[in-house]
């Protein structure tokens, strides 16, 4: 999902025509979910151009069983947001919703601070989609760093914000760095020592949903370890949160899964560290100064928060609030 790029429409009037008057050339009632051909007709674009917009993450879409679908309401909003040639400013009416990645410390801080934020933790990429759709004012995101030529790490949190949120009046602030690793039943009965051991028979892995930063990190770690992700046995359905991974292991439905050290500590499970990552929060600038987020960040300066971060283990909150990217 992303902003309309104005070069695709020659002037605001043509955008307005697309938003208000376009109808499929082939007739028939308008459906909420449109196919590639239908949305190309709707926007008066060639299908080839539409595929380019999808590949660049510019136009809102979903991919179900390999088929592209376009929610008409979001396509209409995407067009409306592109009616100005100036950089787009996100609505100050975005609801007090924190979307994106699930994090035990963040979840606790939102609840304990009574800041008024609601949470919708369906994964990092989902959180960005909700920011773009105007259904959230902030999103917690963490994507695994990627190696560049020369050995330097590519900051994919910043890259994601720059690529998809640059048109919003948005800022990316650091929440914490945290340890990620394999969470295992107490005593590690299967004697798992590394990712290579997951290829053993009967090892059931609790995997996170697609679009979650932990899912992407897990796939990257498997590739680096030379483990074929398709050779593993996964719990179905996927775990939606860090806590769901731990619960599946406690219940005996899974043997292991990737999660933060804090979850292993909370549920008295074993933990094998594999990576250290940074969790950031992308925030609409107008919402940042509203009471909910101001209350949350004020709470993080209290000794109670510092003690909780230390007790959960695996966190470094020394740079909490540092601006990592500014639109």
| Domain 6-81 part of CATH 1.10.10 | yes
Contact 245, 208 (CB under 8 A): yes
Q: 27: closest CA among 14, 17, 37, 15?
A: 37
Instruction: Please count the residues of the chain.
Output: 327
Contact 165, 305 (CB under 8 A): no
Contact 140, 175 (CB under 8 A): yes
Fold of 180-276: D-Maltodextrin-Binding Protein; domain 2 (3.40.190)
Contact 215, 207 (CB under 8 A): yes
Domain boundaries, the chain: 6-81, 97-171+284-313, 180-276
pLDDT by position in tens, the chain (length 327): 333 333 333 333 333 333 343 444 444 445 678 899 999 998 888 888 888 888 877 788 877 777 888 888 778 777 766 544 333 444 457 999 999 999 999 999 999 999 999 999 999 999 999 999 899 999 999 999 877 666 677 899 999 999 888 888 899 999 999 999 999 999 999 999 999 999 876 799 999 999 999 999 999 999 999 999 999 999 999 999 999 999 999 999 999 999 999 999 999 999 999 999 999 999 998 899 999 999 999 999 999 999 999 999 999 999 999 999 997
Phi, psi (degrees; rounded to nearest 5) at 100? 95, -145
Burial class (CB in 10 A: 0-12, 13-18, 19+), 89: middle
CA distances from 232 to 189, 196, 253 (A): 18, 10, 15
**In the block, which residue shows the tokens 């959960």?**
312
Sorted by sequence, the CB contacts under 8 Å of residue 31 that are 6+ apart come out as 38, 72
Predicted pLDDT of residue 2: 38
Q: 217: closest CA among 281, 143, 139?
A: 143
Predicted pLDDT of residue 30: 54
Between strands 170-184 and 323-326, the pairing is: antiparallel
């Amino acid at each position: 999902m992303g902003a309309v790029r104005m070069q695709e429409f020659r002037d605001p009037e043509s955008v307005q025509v697309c938003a208000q008057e376009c109808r499929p050339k082939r007739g028939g009632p308008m459906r909420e979910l449109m196919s590639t051909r239908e949305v190309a007709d709707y926007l008066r674009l060639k299908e080839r151009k539409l595929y380019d917009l999808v590949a660049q993450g510019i136009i809102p879409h979903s991919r179900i069983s390999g088929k592209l679908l376009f929610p008409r309401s979001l396509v209409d909003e995407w067009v409306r947001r592109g009616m100005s040639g100036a950089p787009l400013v996100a609505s100050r009416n975005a609801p007090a919703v924190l979307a994106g990645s699930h994090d035990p410390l963040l979840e606790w801080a939102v609840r304990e601070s009574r800041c008024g934020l609601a949470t919708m933790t369906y994964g990092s990429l989902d959180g960005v989609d909700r920011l773009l759709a105007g259904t959230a004012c902030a999103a917690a995101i963490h994507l695994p760093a990627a190696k560049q030529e020369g050995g330097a790490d590519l900051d994919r949190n910043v890259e994601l914000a720059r690529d998809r949120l640059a048109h919003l009046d948005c800022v990316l602030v650091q929440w914490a760095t945290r340890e990620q690793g394999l969470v295992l039943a107490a005593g590690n009965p299967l004697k798992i020592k590394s990712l290579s051991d997951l290829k053993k028979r009967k090892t059931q892995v609790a995997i996170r949903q697609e679009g979650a930063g932990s899912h992407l990190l897990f796939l990257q770690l498997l590739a680096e370890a030379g483990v074929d992700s398709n050779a593993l046995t996964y719990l179905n359905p996927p775990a939606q949160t860090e806590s769901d991974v731990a619960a599946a292991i406690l219940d005996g439905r899974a043997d292991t899964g990737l999660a933060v050290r804090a979850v292993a500590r909370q549920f008295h499970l074993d933990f094998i560290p594999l990576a250290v990552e940074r969790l950031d929060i992308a925030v609409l600038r107008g919402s940042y100064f509203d009471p909910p987020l101001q209350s949350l960040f004020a709470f993080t300066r209290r000794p109670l928060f510092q003690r909780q971060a230390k007790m959960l283990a695996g966190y470094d909150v020394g740079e909490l609030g540092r601006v990592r990217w500014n639109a």
